[in-house]
Structure 1
Amino acid sequence: MATNLRSPTTRAALVDAYSAGNLLVPALNREGVECVHVRSPEPDVNMVKLKFPDGFVDDIRHEGDLAATAAALREWGIGCVIAGGESGVELADQLNAELGTPGNGMSRPTCRRNKYEMVLAVRDAGLPHAATVVSPDADEIIEWAETTAGYPVVLKPVSSAGQDNVMACASAEEVRAAHDKIRSSTNRQGQSNTVVLAQEFLAGTEYFVNTVSRDGQHHTAEIWRYCKRRIPGGHIIHDYVEPLSPDDPDAQEVEFYSHRILDALEIHNGAAHAEIMMTADGPVLVECAGRLGGGAAPQILSRSMAANQIDLIALSVARPDEFHQLPTSLHRLLRHTLYVHLINPNDHGIAPSHEDMGVIRALPSWAHTVLMHPEGARLTRTIDFPSQPGYVILISDDPVQLRADYEKLREIERVLYTGYPVSEQPRPIRPDR
């Protein structure tokens, strides 16, 4: 049952605000809400490398004693605890339960991180779900694939994020290789992968739905369509994503299903990022995270989107009564947008400089760039989110210009990570090219 606390909050705690969560600090400060940071014992090993934001009034390190951390937050008069990233999801839920502040249901406390528990919660709610098994034994998964699911199957860690070791396998040999790779590695929180999760391959078009909830009332900020690539080794990487228009035939069906998923996972308060495959039989959950969607850039996306999760969370915390008066569906497109993931196709590479990126900034629809690695850093081939060089947001009133700039960006990438100067300036590309 949703926690029905409607009073505004003047101080909030953010757990592991190293990535998208760090954008919440200025947004909450603008609403008059002070922020305290909580560091979990096992933050995302990739995100802790990013710049830590200013604006926190305190920085508390959680050492494993929930009561002690909750007591420290009580001294600050904390009114809610928010997951600043994937590694903060479970601790934020636990702290809200300990403090009695607006949080998420705790009848299945691990279902918002453990992907097997997630599937079970969705199944028990009577919603469509992917056939799934979890096992430490590759042979058991192979037998399941060959007798039940069929190839290809998707293997991934049970608890991780950002495409971490997500691999599509088309044979027993590929399953065994992927299983060994996952079992011999740690997830993005530095935890050993003792078991491997396998799911049926969902064919169709994949979307993600970003929502913000308060007291069990859900509001949709954005719906986006994924375009992905399968690359050698079974890895699946993001190419680009594009926002979905509210009048798209799939929009209402995907949105309705996503809100039922939130109920099944007891996500009553805060942000969620649900990835959903629209199959021939309808929407099926890929996975759902109880935190902000990655790569949020509200100051940029406000040029093309009517709503964003960052500002909605700030409103739900500071002015919950106003938040509850909003319509359920807030997503609306103002301009055409592409969110392009940079891809290094080479086994080696060098992170580009600001000067190198000038040729991309000169594209007519360029709006924003985020680089994930410092200039001159060694790059590996892009196989997941941590190994991507960064991302670029393109915005235009003209969909033809947008597509031309995307194609030009991919041309530029052919030499962008080689360390050689990128001297060619972008030229207009004819629409019929």
Structure 2
Amino acid sequence: MTPPLIVAIVDADGIGAHLPAALARHGARSIHVRSDAPNVHFSRRPADLDIEVVHRGDLVETATALRGHGVGFVVAGTESGVLLADALSAQLRTPGNGMTRPGARRDKHEMVQAVAAVGLATASSVVTDSLDELLTWAEQLGTWPVVLKPPASAASDHVLFCRSEAELRSAFAAVLGADDRYGRRNGAVIGQEFLAGEEYFVNTVSRGGSHHVVEVWRYQKRLVDGGRPMYDYEEPVAPDDPAVAVVSAYALAVLDALEIRNGAAHTEVMLTPDGPVLVESAARPGGSHEPAVVSGCLGTDQIDCLARAIVRPEELHAGRLPRYRPQAALRYVTLLSPTDGQMPSEEGLAPVRELESCLEVVLAAAPGSPVKRTVDLGTSPGYVYLTAATHGEVEEDYHRLRQLEESGLYRTPTH
């Protein structure tokens, strides 16, 4: 009997925590690699992985440990694991991503340069630690707003919209003086042209340079905290929607430009009046979705497809991975707390669960835990899935949910 494939998951946090179970369903075993710079907002140890190798900065030492465990594939569980997973794959000579320019899969400015180099549309951008250089770039760009963000963070962390020189100065100081989600000080900022249009994300899995589109969703964002773009809600887009073919083709070309050949990717694309333009791409599974919920509503999910592509790559190459098919109206709503407060109790959540379209509620912390006013994904209290036969029903419950938040869902009880 052929021994099971052993997969090393680097930072199996967030949605990556679902990957060991998916791999086990398809006959593979998993061990955990803890990177030297994990996301400080996640727990330090996945609950269901018995073997953990801690990376202490010595690539050869870590690779030797994995070789001793018989690892045949290395994959990033979340953003903090991307570069280490690539480096370990190269060291072990297991299927991995191209190493011509690996930094382009994390550094957002390098990413834009790599994508532009193959002729794909990108936003005008600059990376700098000089306020004067940033101001000169903005003046030459000649349009407001502009976007500022850290070079290598994730989600909406310190992503700021600036509508004037004064706001640009303030945002520059805020980004440059902060730590990113991995505990590292931002040594520079990226200034980027604001892109107008509809924003989509394309979740994919790849094996040997062949790609499979798992799902396409459309984002809706709102501004919070005086100018920070924050995720509001997202919805899957029907596969026959004309936009899907356009953004999918662009996203797959981005994967090739970034040499993403093995593993998962989450690519955000703005569909502008002139065509698709890259927001950013990440060489890991996308977001904080619940795979079981997504699979139940769409017929497939990225984590299961990733496990299949790792264990049985012939399924991807032969086009046998399942295609997504939305069964009803579905909306993933990011919870937003308007003030500091606390996580609601089960009793406090009752009005949310009683919404007719409420399918699932996922809180970011235990009931009674402190809640900060939402300014980014790191301060969101969690998320809710709404589903119904029609979009109108979902829309009504979405507004009811937002009203519950505004009227005290996270209010700290007084005694």
* TM-score using structure 2 length: 0.96
Quick check: 1:353–1:376 contact (8 Å CA) kept in 2? yes
Q: 1:333 aligns with which of 326, 335, 342?
A: 326
Task: Name the residue aligned to 2:404.
Answer: 412
Deviation at 1:358, TM superposition (A): 1.9
Q: Distance in 2 between matches of 1:8 and 1:290?
A: 28
Deviation at 1:395, TM superposition (A): 1.6
Q: Distance in 2 between matches of 1:246 and 1:219?
A: 13
What stretches of structure 1 move > 6 A for 4+ residues in a row?
A: none
Unaligned runs of 5+ in 1: 1-6, 422-433
Quick check: 1:46–1:188 contact (8 Å CA) kept in 2? yes
- The one-letter amino acid paired with 1:108 is R
Task: Name the residue aligned to 1:100.
Answer: 93
What do residues 126-163 of structure 1 show as CA deviations (whole Å, max 9, x unaligned)? 10001010110122111111122521100000000021
Task: Name the residue aligned to 1:3.
Answer: none
Alignment of 1:388 with 2:394, yes or no, is no
Alignment of 1:52 with 2:39, yes or no, is no
Q: 1:139 aligns with which of 111, 132, 145?
A: 132
Deviation at 1:77, TM superposition (A): 1.1
Q: Distance in 2 between matches of 1:93 and 1:8?
A: 24
Q: 1:170 aligns with which of 163, 180, 200?
A: 163
What do residues 203-257 of structure 1 show as CA deviations (whole Å, max 9, x unaligned)? 0100000000000111011100011001343201011001101121211000000
Q: Distance in 2 between matches of 1:120 and 1:175?
A: 23
Quick check: 2:305–2:321 contact (8 Å CA) kept in 1? no
Q: Distance in 2 between matches of 1:9 and 1:147?
A: 57
Q: Secondary structure at the match of 1:357?
A: helix
- The one-letter amino acid paired with 1:331 is Y
1:81-100 alignment to 2 at 5 Å? 81-100=74-93
- The one-letter amino acid paired with 1:23 is H
Q: 2:316 aligns with which of 323, 330, 341?
A: 323
Distance 1:343 1:8, change over 3 A: farther
Distance 1:128 1:368, change over 3 A: same
What do residues 108-130 of structure 1 show as CA deviations (whole Å, max 9, x unaligned)? 01000000110010011110001
Task: Name the residue aligned to 2:280.
Answer: 287
Q: Distance in 2 between matches of 1:33 and 1:72?
A: 19
Deviation at 1:8, TM superposition (A): 9.8
Deviation at 1:378, TM superposition (A): 2.0
Q: Secondary structure at the match of 2:138?
A: helix
Deviation at 1:278, TM superposition (A): 0.4
1:114-193 alignment to 2 at 5 Å? 114-193=107-186
- The one-letter amino acid paired with 1:169 is C
Over aligned residues, Cα RMSD in angstroms?
1.6
Quick check: 1:219–1:329 contact (8 Å CA) kept in 2? no
- The one-letter amino acid paired with 1:52 is P
Task: Name the residue aligned to 1:21.
Answer: 16
Deviation at 1:373, TM superposition (A): 2.2
Q: Secondary structure at the match of 2:305?
A: helix
Q: For structure 1, which segment, 307-316 or 412-421, has the greater mean C-alpha deviation from structure 2 after superposition? A: 412-421
Identity %: 46
Quick check: 1:220–1:329 contact (8 Å CA) kept in 2? no
Quick check: 2:4–2:27 contact (8 Å CA) kept in 1? no
Deviation at 1:326, TM superposition (A): 2.0
Task: Name the residue aligned to 2:245.
Answer: 252
Quick check: 2:212–2:316 contact (8 Å CA) kept in 1? no
Q: Secondary structure at the match of 2:405?
A: helix
Q: Distance in 1 between matches of 2:307 and 2:124?
A: 37
- The one-letter amino acid paired with 1:352 is P
Q: 2:360 aligns with which of 368, 389, 414?
A: 368
- The one-letter amino acid paired with 2:37 is E
Quick check: 1:8–1:320 contact (8 Å CA) kept in 2? no
Deviation at 1:332, TM superposition (A): 2.1
What do residues 89-123 of structure 1 show as CA deviations (whole Å, max 9, x unaligned)? 00000000000111000000100000011001001
Q: Distance in 1 between matches of 2:133 and 2:354?
A: 53
- The one-letter amino acid paired with 1:363 is L
What do residues 262-305 of structure 1 show as CA deviations (whole Å, max 9, x unaligned)? 00000001100000000010000000000000112121112211
Q: Secondary structure at the match of 2:27?
A: coil
- The one-letter amino acid paired with 2:335 is L
Task: Name the residue aligned to 1:425.
Answer: none
- The one-letter amino acid paired with 2:10 is V
Unaligned runs of 5+ in 2: none
Q: Distance in 2 between matches of 1:188 and 1:209?
A: 23
Task: Name the residue aligned to 1:4.
Answer: none
